[in-house]
Amino acid sequence: QERQLISHFHSVGVLLFLFGMGINIHSDILLRQLRKPGDHTYKIPQGGLFTYVSGANFFGEIVEWFGYAIATWSLPAFAFALFTLCFIGPRAYHHHRYYLSMFTDYPKSRKA
């Protein structure tokens, strides 16, 4: 019974980890495609989860590490996931506030 429960947590954790990693990679690709080499102008990220949140790459990384913590079910992994949330969460919020102040046409429906 306990072994089966651990197996379910492991499966859910691995799926969350892969889902978060996919979001993170896809978001990073979208960010890299925003500017051509030598271009220094800021642009609004579009597509993927950037439709809904300003820091889709940050969101993906947080999901990724919480998935890892659930999959391994270990205190160090949960501590790392919590650290990731505490470190990256404020960065996402500040990026969101920056985009709102920098771009007058920034989508108001996006969350941090």
Confidence class of residue 38 from pLDDT cuts 50, 70 and 90?
confident
Does the pLDDT of residue 37 top 90, yes or no? no
The number of folded domains in the chain is 1
Which structure tokens are listed for 57? 């790459």
Longest dimension (CA), the chain: 59
Task: Identify the pLDDT of residue 70.
Answer: 96
Residue 30 resides in a domain: yes
Residue 69 resides in a domain: yes
Condensed to tens digits (0 to 9), the pLDDT of residues 67-99 reads 999 999 999 999 999 999 999 999 999 999 999
Q: Cα–Cα distance between 46 and 96 in angstroms, integer?
A: 14
Which structure tokens are listed for 45? 């990220």
Q: Residue 61's domain spans which residues?
A: 2-36+43-102
Dihedrals phi, psi of 54, to nearest 5 degrees: -70, -35
CA separation (Å) from 83 to 1, 2, 30?
32, 28, 26
Please give the average per-residue pLDDT across 59-69, as a whole number.
98
CA separation (Å) from 49 to 30, 56, 73, 80, 85?
10, 5, 28, 24, 18
Confidence class of residue 1 from pLDDT cuts 50, 70 and 90?
low
Does the pLDDT of residue 13 top 70, yes or no? yes
Residue 108 resides in a domain: no
pTM over 0.85: yes
Q: Cα–Cα distance between 23 and 18 in angstroms, integer?
A: 9
Residue 55 resides in a domain: yes
Residue 109 resides in a domain: no
Does the pLDDT of residue 32 top 80, yes or no? yes
